[in-house]
Amino acid sequence: MAERIDGKTKLYGLIGHPVAHTFSPFIHNRLGELTGLNLRYVPFDVTDPDTIGDAVKGAFALNIQGMNVTVPYKQAVMPFLSGIDPVAGKIGAVNTLVRTDTGYLGMNTDYIGLKRALEVQGVNIPSYSAVIIGAGGAARAAAFMCGTCGVRGLVILNRTLQKAEDLAGDVKKAFPWMSVSAMPLSDAGKVPFENFLAIQCTKVGLAPDNAACPVEDAAFYQKLAVAFDCIYNPEKTAFLQRAEAAGKKAIGGIDMLTYQAIASFEAWTGKEISNEMADGIRTELSAFIREQNRPKNVVLIGFMGSGKTTVGAKLSKKLGMKQIDLDAMIVEDARMPVTEIFRKEGENGFRRRETKILQKLIEDGTRDCVISTGGGIVVQEENQPLLKALGTVVLLEVSPDTVVRRLGKDSTRPLLQGPDRVRKVRTLLVRRQNAYARSADFTVDTNAKTADEVADEIIRRTIG
């Protein structure tokens, strides 16, 4: 790829902050390859909002052929452009800068991408009333798309009501026939529509904060018909998961990302991208995002009997990753079983061996592994950051009764010997509870789930 970069290579890019998470370079550089164009696309992180004008002028001076604009600059760049496309002017935000002789022309392809993303999923947009969550640049594009498609009723939800009211006012001016209102996000369950189209336009739920959800009220999900989330990483956000759980259609933002990028590419280059090529890019992008989100390692922690080894084996097979059993490594290194280590060196000696093995795995650059740990590994405080350094740490939660039921009369557990096992388990669990919580990235309740169900939940929450 680098061999093709020469004095004729045309440069395109993305300006925003932050931009480290962007997948736009994958799309545009792949489109360049497929169309045979000598171009490269790179992200530019503009950290200081006061320099956005300098960034635009500098890009033009450096002969950069075109740029995308992402948060927080979709409106901030507009005063520094040589012109604004009429559609982008009505939306009040741009995401695409097209080079002209005198400067950049601002366009908005977000609404094109959103419209096409909904249509390819069989959504007849004008047949719904719509609810938009958010009031930023993406929300403005979504609101304009609703208006151009003939949506009759629109509610804008936002944490800051004034911003929602401001956007509602702008939409009403552009589409005076349209019923538009604003509500605080906290009242999401009270929207006055049934079977509506919900378009989520905030960053809530964006990786790595996958568990966050902009709307908690169950009434909201019961009343909607279709949920769309502009977020594409993860592919299935907590917002979409809740919609699906309520039996509603749920659509992720990967199609919108793909189609808005294609619209930008076509505006810059004059090349028309076929439907077949667009479908191929979308498929490749989905696979690329999944691979990028693949955890370096999955580290399973939890009390004895929580299923770390069994679940680890399931995960290993499903993810195509090697399984590592930490206790087995310790036994191999010490050349004696765990019971003998405890007898000769005590619990402290065993914990030191755990630390040594963790450090070795990190030093060796271990990756693409599912690592099952011992139940007390979190007791040694210095082990907690080592676990996180290895990868995504998942706590398998289990109750005392389940532990005793699963382990039965197992006599190989040094800390579980003696009478009244339930009481002993409960005491140890309480003692370790805080350490488990500090060490874990997230928790999965294993009590009423099969190993396959636990493994599938871990995959869903780590990869999407």
Contacts of 329 by beta carbon, 8 Å cutoff, 6+ apart = 357
Given 10, 74, 308, 424, which residue is catalytic? 74
Instruction: Enumerate long-range contacts of 376-379, CB under 8 Å, 24 or more apart.
Output: 376/347, 376/351, 376/415, 376/432, 377/301, 377/326, 377/351, 378/301, 378/432, 378/435, 378/436, 378/438, 378/439, 379/351, 379/432, 379/435
Can you tell me which residue has the tokens 């676990």?
387
12 near 41, Cβ under 8 Å? yes
The alpha-carbon radius of gyration of the chain (Å, integer) is 27
229 near 252, Cβ under 8 Å? yes
Helix/strand/coil for 419:
coil
- The Cβ of residue 401 has, within 10 Å, a number of other Cβ atoms equal to 12
Question: Is 74 among the residues known to form the active site?
Answer: yes
- For 401, phi then psi, to 5°, come to -65, -40
Six token digits for residue 136: 């930023």
Q: Residue 114: CA atoms inside 13 Å, Cβ hemisphere, count? A: 29
Cα angle vertex 127, ends 126, 132, to 5°? 65
Q: Where in the sequence numbering do the catalytic residues fall?
A: 74
